[in-house]
Amino acid sequence: MKPFIITLCFLCACIPSQGQTDSKLYKNAQFLLAKGKFKQSIRNFKKVIKNEGDSPGAYFNIGQGKLHLKNYESAIVDFTTALELRPKFPEAYYQRGLAKARLKNFENAIEDFSEAITLKSDYSEAYSSRGTAKNDLKNYEKALDDLNKAFQLGLRSDLVFGGRGRSKFHLGDYEGAMDDYNQALSINPNHAPFYCNRGLLKESLKNPSGALSDYNRAIKIDPKHAISYTNRGNLRSKQNDFRSAIKDHTKAIKVDPSYPIPYINRGVARVRSNRKDYKGSIKDFTKAIQMAPNMALPYNNRGLSKYNLGYFRESMDDFDKAIELDPNYAFSYRNRGKSRIELKQNSQACIDFKRAIQLGDSDANEFIEKHCN
């Protein structure tokens, strides 16, 4: 698993009152917004609306304040009101797109970024954020197109370089990705996600010591960066340091209890350690299933732990569910076949082994030779 952080650019662009006289109260609200005093700013903009009537600029700036306060759904309402009052308002589309992206509504965010670009063809920030959202949808080629367009328009932000690094990494351009991550970090050397992502890149380049250094740096910058703990734990598992891996995954869970990946990876580390803690791993995989019930991987892994404890029929239930969620999950077919062998269901097991081979699991040949001749 190679998770990435979502990184979007929040721009605080105070918008005038759009045709109305800029009152002292309005200017004061703008000043508070620019100073980062978001709650006070919101209160003052609301007073502007109450005293002076509806203003697209006031609603827009209220939305910006709420965006910074992470009140994303309410911010969307205010940006929408601003757009109702002023339909050709590219900044409002852009900021509403940011709020939607923060809610992981990436497709609708892309629609807003696209509308902003339609209204303002040189809107480099909108290209950058649309590229970021496309990265989150794993549409890496189109993401790179947008990020390159932002660059061509003159935007040299750390987010452009970091986003391009992410796209290039997934497209297999490791050299280009390294150049972009290095550039992003030269602009913003205190951004933990860039170190985290560069660490993954270094792992792919067979540089585990460099990867570990980057994960350590990310954690030093942001001790609550759960993904860096998870990735460092995965690296330590690869180095057979399972005790440290379990500690890292446990720390990731403490930092972000809603994140299912560390439970999965801690469960794997428990199984691979000398203790062979299958019961502990089952608890971890079960927790991951509760958090991500549509993910096939924890069902497969829990099934393996049950298999190793001799719970063959129960393990089949988990492999069945993994296959239901992902019909092309080769390993689950092989694993279900192994459970069926233990339950004397050899003919059905052989069907599973053959299906696993069709899906690319060559290791299933061993079981075909042993049980299916």
- Quote the pLDDT of residue 321: 98
- Reference 358, options 346, 347, 350; nearest CA is 350
pLDDT digits (tens, 9 = 90+) for 153-162: 999 999 999 9
Residues with Cβ within 8 Å of residue 307, at least 6 apart in sequence? 315, 335, 338, 339, 342
Helical H segments across 188-277, by residue range: 192-204, 208-221, 226-238, 242-255, 261-272
Task: Tell me if 332 sits within 8 A of 322, measured CB to CB.
Answer: yes
- Reference 57, options 1, 13, 96, 97; nearest CA is 13
Task: Tell me if 350 sits within 8 A of 364, measured CB to CB.
Answer: no
Q: How confident is the model at residue 39 (pLDDT cuts 50, 70, 90)?
A: very high
- Quote the pLDDT of residue 15: 54
- Residue 158 has φ and ψ, to the nearest 5°, of -60, -30
Q: How far is CA 100 from the centre of its chain?
A: 14
Q: How confident is the model at residue 16 (pLDDT cuts 50, 70, 90)?
A: low
pLDDT digits (tens, 9 = 90+) for 224-247: 999 999 999 999 999 999 999 999
Residues with Cβ within 8 Å of residue 311, at least 6 apart in sequence? none
Please tell me the distance from the alpha carbon of residue 21 to that of residue 44, in angstroms, as a whole number.
Answer: 16
- Quote the pLDDT of residue 8: 39
Report the number of secondary-structure helices (H) and strands (E) in the chain. Answer: 21, 0
Identify the residue whose tokens are 């992470």.
Answer: 70
> Mean per-residue pLDDT for 274-284?
96
DSSP for 267-332, please give it. Answer: HHHHHHSTT--HHHHHHHHHHHHHH-TT-HHHHHHHHHHHHHTT-HHHHHHHHHHHHHH-TT-HHH
Residues with Cβ within 8 Å of residue 304, at least 6 apart in sequence? 271, 315, 335
- Quote the pLDDT of residue 176: 98
Please tell me the distance from the alpha carbon of residue 270 to that of residue 237, in angstroms, as a whole number.
Answer: 10
> Mean per-residue pLDDT for 46-56?
92
- Quote the pLDDT of residue 373: 78
Please tell me the distance from the alpha carbon of residue 29 to that of residue 16, in angstroms, as a whole number.
Answer: 11
- Reference 305, options 329, 273, 328, 262; nearest CA is 273
- Reference 133, options 122, 149, 115, 147; nearest CA is 147
Average pLDDT, the chain: 94
Q: Is pLDDT of 292 > 90?
A: yes
Q: Is pLDDT of 5 > 70?
A: no
- Fold entry, domain 1-120: 1.25.40
Q: How confident is the model at residue 32 (pLDDT cuts 50, 70, 90)?
A: very high
- Reference 199, options 211, 186, 216; nearest CA is 211
> Mean per-residue pLDDT for 210-214?
98
How much is the CA Rg of the chain, to the nearest whole Å?
A: 25
DSSP state of 355: H
Task: Tell me if 78 sits within 8 A of 60, measured CB to CB.
Answer: yes
Please tell me the distance from the alpha carbon of residue 313 to that of residue 357, in angstroms, as a whole number.
Answer: 23
- Quote the pLDDT of residue 346: 96
- Reference 58, options 79, 72, 76, 84; nearest CA is 79
59, amino acid identity: Y
Q: Is pLDDT of 181 > 80?
A: yes
Q: Is pLDDT of 130 > 50?
A: yes
- Quote the pLDDT of residue 22: 64
Which tokens go with 84?
A: 């109702």
Domain assignments of the chain as residue spans, ordered by start = 1-120
Q: Which residues of 32-45 are buried (b: 16+ CB within 10 A; e: fewer)?
A: bbeeeebebbbebb
Residues with Cβ within 8 Å of residue 95, at least 6 apart in sequence? 11, 60, 63, 64, 67, 75, 79
Q: Is pLDDT of 277 > 70?
A: yes
